[in-house]
Chain A
Amino acid sequence: MTRSPLSLTINGESHQVMIEPHWTLLQVLRGELGLGGTKENCLEAECGVCTVLLDGKAVNSCILLARQCQGRAITTIEGLGDPDHLHPLQTAFIECGAVQCGYCIPGMILTAKSFLDECRGRQPTEPEIREALSGTLCRCTGYQKIVDAVALAARRLEAS
């Protein structure tokens, strides 16, 4: 197959890429654009490490064709905050010690971001947080500190 041009809006910036029609968004982010914060693992939408935001909503970039994202806003972990201006979720993950190996964390934080945006300032319950994160697997931490971190970020976002 031959490559053809595609325009993608990622973290607010427009990117022109030459891609093959069957490439997933994950392949383009990591392989073409060097945005390695989005991780690759199961490639079947089971584990959630490849989660990015599409028009603000968490999606699995491993089973989304890049072509399906034309004209839509993509946010990766690189676009959420920077070392000097962390997002409240990132601060809460650090403070709660929610990170061990770290591989699931970009997907975990973006899944939580999408969920908290849907809560619109309402404080979610712990079961709601656990359900919201169910499509994003962590094999290190046992989840408790991740859930604590999301709850902490939710309280701070509600207060702010």
Chain B
Amino acid sequence: MGFAFHQPDSVASAIDLAHRYGDAARFIAGGTDLIIQINRKRLTPQHVISLGGLGLDDIRETSGEITIGATTTHNDIVFHPGFQHQLVALAEASAVVGGRQIRHVATVGGNIVNASPAADLVPALLVLDAVVDLQGPAQARSLPLDRFLLDRGRTDRQVDEVLTAVRFARPPMQSATAFLKAGRRKAMEISVVCVAAHLVGGPGTGFSKVRIAVGAAAPRTFRATGAEALVGARGDDGTSFAEAGRLAAEAAVPIGDVRASARYRKLLVAALVERALAACRDRMRGAGAQGAAA
């Protein structure tokens, strides 16, 4: 083991270093995955380029959009006052990443670029139609998170590109999100399956927007578009949420491993999708009741 450690003083210098060293270099943010992979000799970078202290750790809010800097920690998400109410799925997801010691260090950007199918924050970002911002040596570009994630451990990021931020439109007042995770114990556990949902209220029992994302049940976190379309067409008619769960389970292609069999993971997908949709519906009603009372 052994590598050179680089502490650039700007994002541009970090990109220059990455461009120079190519595949021999790795960015480090929190390092909670990278250092373990290096210790296990699964990764052997010659150069490690720090993204700490470059001002990428802020959360910016405008009336229309929320931007989360790449080195924002999960702890920052949990305690951010803006991630309650309509955006609570973000706090719910970050709150179950590792233990406190991990959440104090591990970053939003790391959770995304690592492209683990079990990344907890990714489904919560996917249901918000999040976009990632990338900065390379020649240009900056943005693309939907859903297109950025390619496969297990693989993204569209080039070796000399830094993911600088993830952002999404502020959802309307009459909307809700929910994140649910199944693990083998309550805390400090990788997800066996995790699900996020987002509903925007429509006329009657209908919804003008439906988003469902499923983690740890396929090589990458995926949107359950068939289930979304079903709920979009039928609204909440008493059986549509359960049927959406079954459709999402059909779309899942989980592995069976030491934590759960593939069959059990599919059962979890169905149950968690139904519950996440119900949670969104109940939260919207709660918010509506609060508004009426006020």
Contact = CB atoms under 8 A, between A and B. Distances in A.
How many of chain B's residues touch chain A, expressed as a range? 20 to 34
B48 interface: yes
Given A1-B2, A134-B99, 10 more contacts: A21-B2, A22-B1, A45-B36, A54-B104, A58-B100, A59-B101, A63-B31, A65-B48, A68-B28, A132-B100
Contacts of B39: 43-44, 63
16 contacts: A22-B2, A22-B38, A22-B48, A43-B39, A45-B32, A48-B99, A54-B104, A58-B100, A59-B104, A63-B31, A65-B5, A65-B28, A67-B5, A68-B52, A115-B100, A135-B188
Interface of A: 1, 20-22, 24, 43-46, 48, 51, 54, 57-60, 63-65, 67-68, 70-71, 111, 114-115, 118, 130-132, 134-136
Nearest to B104: A57
Nearest to A4: B5
Contacts, number: 88
Nearest to B34: A63
Interface string B1-40: 1111101000000000000000000001001100110110
Interface of B: 1-5, 7, 28, 31-32, 35-36, 38-39, 48, 50, 52-53, 75, 79, 98-102, 104-105, 186-188
A130 B188 CA distance: 11
A65 B6 CA distance: 12
A118 B102 CA distance: 15
A3 B79 CA distance: 39
